[in-house]
Amino acid sequence: MELEVAGRTVRLSSPDKVFFPERGFTKLDVARYYVGVGPGILRALRNRPTTLERYPDGVDGEWFFQKRAPKGMPDWIPTAHITFPSGRSADEMCPTEQAAVVWAAQYGTLTFHPWPVRATDVDHPDELRIDLDPQPGTDFDDAVRAAHELRAVLDEFGGLRGWPKTSGGRGLHVFVPVEPRWTFTQVRRAAIAVGREMERRMPDQVTIKWWKEERGSRIFLDYNQTARDRTIASAYSVRPRPHAPVSAPLRWEEVGAVHPRDFDLATMPARFAELGDVHADMDDHAYCLDALLELARRDEHDHGLGDLPYPPEYPKMPGEPKRVQPSRARRDQTS
């Protein structure tokens, strides 16, 4: 069948293929969902290199991340050339129209993972993204408490404003639009500074310990989500869980008043029709990271708190501490 999407026709094959057996949602339901929230997800993806998380046979089938632009992609969908930490590079899909999202859904894309950069400058992020990830023994309510303290930290260090959203799971994401004049390394350093300040204020509730064995029952502020080629599911993305949740943009007054299960493939279009995109004004702002980078400098100068480990697939980075989990390091020392 064919769908009309903001003036462009997108062909949908096998529209009745079931993607979410628990709820009975089909590929057509997913495509229509993205039509319904089209202006919102396009705002989140516009001009951003985007990795596709694809489930061609639904959530119970095989899946994969597609970083390189799919073969046969229409010429009206542009690409952006990005470089990975390994030094290799690729051209990634870079949506500029709502129809691009529906076209990707035709090929089983459920979740869209945009880089925090625009195609015009792929080396300088324009978003600081904070991921509040509940660890075993914690839940969404713990992430909510951390998010409200995070809001205060952001305001205190540079008058920054964050836009919160559910992850689609148990956590929360907070995105801060920033001026695109800092490198990935500097933005990651700012995220580490945020995390350390959060640890000081909520030592029993928040951690930035990279190694799982050290985190305990605390909310993990995943500073490495700001490293190059690490991405976070976009606002409005469908998440590959049986009940078809979506990553829902929130207003701050809703943080703690709603629950992630309130937002799914069925409920979000109605919310969008009523409220529109509650993050629509994000692109009207661009904040400065100087105060957070100064905090990072003080942490290092006054307390000896330098860099933290990178993800395992990264080459060894300048200034990075030894990348080995503490229990193994202790065993190596005693053997």
| 134 and 160 assigned to the same domain | yes
Q: Which residue has the higher pLDDT, 317 or 242?
A: 242
Evaluate if residue 124 carries a pLDDT over 60: yes
Looking at the domain assignment, is residue 280 inside a domain?
Answer: no
Q: 3-state DSSP call for residue 61? A: coil
Residues 329 and 323: their CA atoms lie apart, in Å, by 10
Looking at the domain assignment, is residue 324 inside a domain?
Answer: no
With tokens 């800092």, the residue in question is: 182
Contact 116, 179 (CB under 8 A): no
Contact 11, 2 (CB under 8 A): yes
| 36 and 84 assigned to the same domain | yes
| 224 and 242 assigned to the same domain | no
Looking at the domain assignment, is residue 188 inside a domain?
Answer: yes
Q: Which domain holds residue 198?
A: 127-228+285-303
Which residues is 249 bridged to in the sheet?
165
pTM of the entire predicted model: 0.96
pLDDT attached to residue 334: 61
Indicate the number of domains in the chain.
2
Burial bucket for residue 104 (CB in 10 Å: 0-12, 13-18, 19+): buried
| 132 and 180 assigned to the same domain | yes
Evaluate if residue 147 carries a pLDDT over 60: yes
Evaluate if residue 297 carries a pLDDT over 90: yes
What radius of gyration do the chain's Cα atoms show? 20
Residues 307 and 97: their CA atoms lie apart, in Å, by 39
| 23 and 109 assigned to the same domain | yes
Evaluate if residue 335 carries a pLDDT over 90: no
| 240 and 95 assigned to the same domain | yes
- The model's pLDDT over 75-95, given as tens digits with 9 standing for 90+, comes to 999 999 999 999 999 999 999
| 249 and 270 assigned to the same domain | yes
Rounded to 5°, the CA angle 295-173-93 comes to 105
